Amino acid sequence: MSKDIFNFSAGPAVIPDSVIDKINLGLDDFDRGMSITEVSHRSNAFKEFAQSSESSLRNLLNINEEYSVLFLQGGASSQFLMTAYNFLKNEAAFLDTGTWSKKAIKEAKLFGNVDILASSENDNYNHIPNFEIAKNYDYFHCTSNNTIFGTQINSFANTDTPMFCDMSSDIFSRVLDFSKFDLIYAGAQKNLGPAGATLVVIKNDLLDNIKDNVPSMMNYKVHADKSSMFNTPPVFSVYVSLLNMRWLKKMGGVSEIEKNNRKKAQLLYSEIDLNPLFNGHSKIKDRSIMNATFNLSDDNFKETFESMLSDANITALAGHRSVGGYRASMYNAMSLDSVKILVEVMSELESKI
Ligand SMILES: Cc1ncc(COP(=O)(O)O)c(C=O)c1O
């Protein structure tokens, strides 16, 4: 892979070069000459790796033994239905902050009543709406970072209702108090590793509160009791996720990476705010430090801008069709220097016009 490409993809996304080097070693020889793609998930070598993944994760996120850590398959999209399948008995509350929340709501409706506490849909999801959890629900579901719209929840509700959160696009990016959450989930392919593994962290208390007759593959307790080995886990993705977690630890852990993430975001948002050729999509107070969404103020500059991006080897900057324009995804492995290159191109466009 050319190291000169600046990959702003929303996911699957950039992985640190040093991790890619280690993946290559594991592809060649993970255990006694066998590639990671050849070893059994029941081999001692892989089991040790999987255990190590769990303890690294607990360590990095500061998650205690009151929670089970699961590596499942099916992506975050399977969690939309699995959460409801296991826990929606009467009514669940949802915060609608974008496409992914909406998909979670759609799946939950198959299993019970859904109360949408607030939605920013009428403003094309450019902010996180205010809401109140005024009564008891089976659980409250929110999306911490809205990958498509570029908004992020900065302060989470204090509630006695069990809080479930889709953290697919900002897990490991900032320090959070995980004791507030009862269940979190995230697809691996942004801040963790390649697509394939889905991380679930679930409070053990909840495992005794699962509905009857939930099929085994959909049942959190079945997976927890078997330490995520009820069926074949996504071996390669778990392997790379651990390598990534080791990289993150070496970088100083989540608190250090958060500082870097904030620097990157600040750099890009200042350009968006100062450069008259660009408009940000998200309201300033709810801007995501992972995915910055912005548009050109005049589409006549589109061709010039995109050819400059291409000359600078900047790729995957196109916005999702529901927002248009551009989206710069700046996950943990994206360097500050890469964001500087993008900002330079944006400011060069201004000086050209
Ligand atoms: C916040 C969020 N939730 C859910 C998903 C869906 O994830 P998956 O493709 O792993 O099912 C995505 C994908 O980008 C996402 O960004």
147 ligand 1 Cβ < 6 A: yes
- Residue 2 above 70 pLDDT? no
| 166 carries an active-site annotation | yes
- pLDDT-derived band at 49 (thresholds 50, 70, 90) equals confident
Q: Per this entry, what is the length of the chain? A: 353
| Residue 199 φ then ψ, to 5° | -85, 135
Cα radius of gyration (the chain) = 21
List, in sequence order, every residue forming a beta bridge with 278; answer none if it has no partner: 296
111 ligand 1 Cβ < 6 A: no
Q: What percent of the chain has pLDDT over 70?
A: 99
Mean pLDDT of 288-314: 97
CB 240 within 8 A of CB 23: yes
Ligand 1 atom closest to residue 143's alpha carbon, by position in its atom list: 1
- Residue 86 above 70 pLDDT? yes
- Residue 9 above 90 pLDDT? yes
pLDDT for 284 equals 98
pLDDT for 1 equals 44
pLDDT for 17 equals 95
Q: Of the residues 22, 190, 203, 264, which is catalytic? A: 190
Nearest CA to ligand 1 atom 1: 168
CB 271 within 8 A of CB 349: no
| 115 carries an active-site annotation | no
76 ligand 1 Cβ < 6 A: yes
pLDDT for 3 equals 60
Question: Which residues, other chains included, contact 283 with Cβ-Cβ below 8 Å and sequence gap of 6+?
Answer: 126, 127, 151
Ligand 1 atom closest to residue 188's alpha carbon, by position in its atom list: 10
User: Which tens digits make up the pLDDT trace of 115-145?
Assistant: 999 999 999 999 999 999 999 999 999 999 9
- pLDDT-derived band at 4 (thresholds 50, 70, 90) equals confident
11 ligand 1 Cβ < 6 A: yes
| 17 carries an active-site annotation | no
Nearest CA to ligand 1 atom 9: 75
| Residue 318 φ then ψ, to 5° | -65, 140
User: Which tens digits make up the pLDDT trace of 167-203?
Assistant: 999 999 999 999 999 999 999 999 999 999 999 999 9
Mean pLDDT of 73-100: 98
Q: What single letter denotes the amino acid at residue 240?
A: V
Tell me the C-alpha distance between 209 and 256, whole Å: 37
User: Which tens digits make up the pLDDT trace of 234-275?
Assistant: 999 999 999 999 999 999 999 999 999 999 999 999 999 999
Question: Which residues, other chains included, contact 329 with Cβ-Cβ below 8 Å and sequence gap of 6+?
Answer: 8, 9, 10, 11, 13, 147, 169, 190, 290, 291, 316
Q: What percent of the chain has pLDDT over 90?
A: 96
CB 292 within 8 A of CB 319: no
| Residue 327 φ then ψ, to 5° | -140, 120
Tell me the C-alpha distance between 339 and 251, whole Å: 18
Question: Which residues, other chains included, contact 93 with Cβ-Cβ below 8 Å and sequence gap of 6+?
Answer: 114, 115, 116, 117, 133, 137, 139, 140, 141, 161
CB 165 within 8 A of CB 75: no
- Is 118 strand, coil or helix? strand
Tell me the best of 73, 99, 147 to mutate to test the pocket of ligand 1, counting ligand atoms within 8 Å of each CB and taking the most. Answer: 147
Q: Which among 334, 346, 329, 347 has a CA at the least distance from the CA of 146? A: 329
CB 243 within 8 A of CB 22: yes
